[in-house]
Every structure is written in structure tokens, then in C-alpha cells.
Amino acid sequence: MRSPLARPSMTLYAALATPGPPPEGPTASGVRAVFLGTSTLLLRDARHTILIDGFFSRPPLWRLAARPIAPDERTIDACLTRAGVTKLDAVLCAHSHYDHALDAPVIARKYGARLYGSDSTVNIGRGYGLPQELLVEAGDGAVFAFGDFRVTFVHALHSPGDVAEGAVTEPLTPPAPYRAWKSGQCFSFFVRHPAGSLLVHPSANHVPGKLADFHADTAYLSVGRLGGQPPGWREEYWRETVTATDPATVLPIHWDDFTSPLTRPLRAMPYFMDDVAAALDFVEERCRRDRRTLVLPTAWQEVDPFGKWRLPEQPGSGVVAAVRVDGRTGLARRSGPGGRISDLAEVTRYTGRDIAAAVSSTERRRSGRFWAGWVTMTSSAAVEAAKSSR
């Protein structure tokens, strides 16, 4: 039985974390995007910079349970420095939960940028002491221009299982319990630029028909809580977001454990909080079916969101298969350039020792990448398979 404290290994999705289109070069659009975990996204061109959410403090789970929380200004400064932020025109909050709005007022104050969001977000800014001229309440359909960026706030719904429903009706001053950051009004963001159009959809839910009039070249799509929803619900979510806006490229967001610091590689939520594997498997299958490019964004990597993403070519040696051994997972690696997996994959220490599995018979071509199907066996069977295949 799967432990609720366990979490899926992101090595299963390593082939989706491909190098992004470089932000510089003769074919670059001039727009740069940096994914910074959860639904934090930095967008900039040569003249203007906007930040969606801006959540860097990421208090650990024990702190959320044991004491009030507050922004960690040292961590915020370090993250902004690492991301190369020297100026900022605006901070846009998708909604007012702490994993979206805890740090936003601090960042706005640091750069003298305006904080845009719901009335709940504005009350959070007031509690942090932001002057009124830096607080902008946004409503459904509101459009704001930042140089060549034009951002439309689109009414959205929080993903199922909102742990802090309601509105922030009074100024909120930290430290406070994490549930004090109530969701308030939720938004998606439709970003237009002469270089292209972008959908940032930070909550895995939908308002029927709401995105029907928008077209996006690229979509940053929340998969938070998606894995726990019924199949029909997932299909409707996909239809009302991705099918409606028809992006060529889909980048899942809000899949990482936001109680883990950004100084470490991003990891999936534990199962008791979310089923990230089920969500990513669903999104991968739908992108394959609809012939869309699926990319798992890499934290801190600056990319051209409107450029052409390079899917991995089939190499002489590389990741080609997912292998499950004793309920634990690893990746198979091709040993030669032939059309089949001719040797064995090392599944590194997932069972306390190195074991291997033969996965030569189920290879198939999918979305321009070679993959092998799942192989399930016990560790003893895997060792025997390894011996017999050599």
C-alpha cells in the first residue's frame, strides 16, 4: 500500500523537463519567462517586468502547523537577486492564499511596484503597510498595460478543496495563521504582447465558457489537486482551459511542494496533499492526443515562452523508460542506438540496492520521443531478468 507520506519521483518526468527556447538569439521573441515554483512566474522584455504571485518564503509544513507565519525577507531578497530582478512594474496576485500573496506586498514595496489583485489582496497589502497608491483592486475583465504587456484579469475558481475559503475583509498584518490568508476572488491572467499571447491559469478549476474568447500561444496550467478529481471532471477542466484557448505548448504549474525551499530542486507534493503523478500522466496523455507540446518547467530557467521548445531527440544513450520495481519507480536507459532497449536500466537504490529490469519488448514511439511501457516486477524477478538478458 502506498504511504500517504510518500511522493512520486520526478525522475519519471525528466524527459519532459527539456531545455527551453533561449531568450536571446536571432529568432528570440524578446520576451523572457522564469518559472519560480508554485504559480510564481516572472515575465519581462527589454523595458518592463511583471511578476505573478511572487511566493518565495515557502514556510515548512511544521511551521504552518505550529505557529503563525510571516514573509522571510532574507529569502525573498535572495530569490529576487538570483532571478536577476532589478526593476519591477507590477505584482499580480492570482488569489489571496498564503502561497500566492504572503510575499507579494513585500516585493511590491521593495521595488515601488503596484500590487494588483482582489479586494482581499488589497486588504493584505494594507495590513503590510503599503500606501494606497501602490494598491490596485482588479475585477473580472480588467485590463492593465505595462509597456507592451497587456494583462487581462479573468474570473476563475479555486481548485476543489479550498482550505481557507472566504475573503480577507480587514487589513491583514503578519505574523498570522496561514488560514488568515483566505482565497478571496480568484483570477487567471491572459497576457498579450506583440510577440505572442500567454495564459497563466494558477488554479486547477474552471468557469464554463469563461476562456472561450481567448487564444493563447502558450499556457502555464495549474495541475494542483487535479490528480484527485474524477475522470469526467479532468476532461471538462482540459476542455474549458486548454481546448478553449488552443495553446501549442502547455507547461504544468502548481505541482511542486511549496513547503520545500527553492534552494533545493523542486519535488512533487506528498500523496496526502496531492496526487501529482496522476495529474501529470493525464496532462501528458491529453497533450499527446491533441498534438500539443508538453514541457515541465524548470525552476530558475529563463526561456522565451513564445519560442520553439526542443523535445528530446532519441540519443544513443538516454532516458527512455519508466520502470516499477517493488512499487518503487526509476528510469531505464538505452545502452545503444538501436530500435530497442538492448540492455538493462539501473534503478538506483530505490529498494536499498541497485537492481535492473529488462524492458526490451514494449517500446513505442510517442509524441516524437521514444518511450517504453511500464514494467512491473519484484526485485528478485528483476535480478533474474537482468541475468537472462545479458
**pLDDT band for position 301 (cuts 50, 70, 90):** very high
Q: Report which DSSP code applies to 133.
A: G
Beta pairing class for 364-366 and 355-357:
unpaired
Q: Which of 23-27, 41-45, 360-364 has the highest mean pLDDT?
A: 41-45
* N-to-C CA span, the chain: 33
Distance CA 202, CA 254 (A): 7
Query: Could you tell me how far CA 298 lies from the centroid of its own chain?
Result: 9
Q: Please report how many Cα atoms fall inside a 13 Å half-sphere around the Cα of residue 88, on the Cβ side.
A: 30
The arithmetic mean of pLDDT across residues 22-36, rounded, is 92
At 58, list the grid cell.
515557502
**Average pLDDT over the chain, rounded to whole?**
83
Distance CA 220, CA 18 (A): 15
Question: Could you tell me if 348 and 354 are in contact, meaning their C-beta atoms sit under 8 angstroms apart?
Answer: yes
Write the pLDDT tens digit of every residue in 104-159: 999 999 999 999 999 999 999 999 999 999 999 999 999 999 999 999 999 999 99
Give, in degrees to the nearest 5, the angle at Cα 280 between 321 and 21.
80
Q: Is the pTM of this model over 0.95?
A: no
Write the pLDDT tens digit of every residue in 170-202: 999 999 999 999 999 999 999 999 999 999 999
- Tell which residue, 8, 52, 45, has the closest CA to residue 28: 45
Question: Could you tell me if 136 and 114 are in contact, meaning their C-beta atoms sit under 8 angstroms apart?
Answer: yes
pLDDT of residue 70: 98
pLDDT of residue 328: 43
The arithmetic mean of pLDDT across residues 276-284, rounded, is 93
Q: What are phi and psi of 79, to 5 degrees?
A: -70, -40
pLDDT higher at 20 or 190: 190
Superfamily of domain 10-303: Ribonuclease Z/Hydroxyacylglutathione hydrolase-like (3.60.15.10)
Domain ranges of the chain: 10-303, 319-389
Q: How far is CA 322 from CA 10, 172, 353, in A?
A: 11, 47, 18
* Lowest model confidence (mean pLDDT) among 118-122, 233-237, 317-321: 317-321
Distance CA 88, CA 51 (A): 8
Name 115's bridge partners. Answer: 91, 135
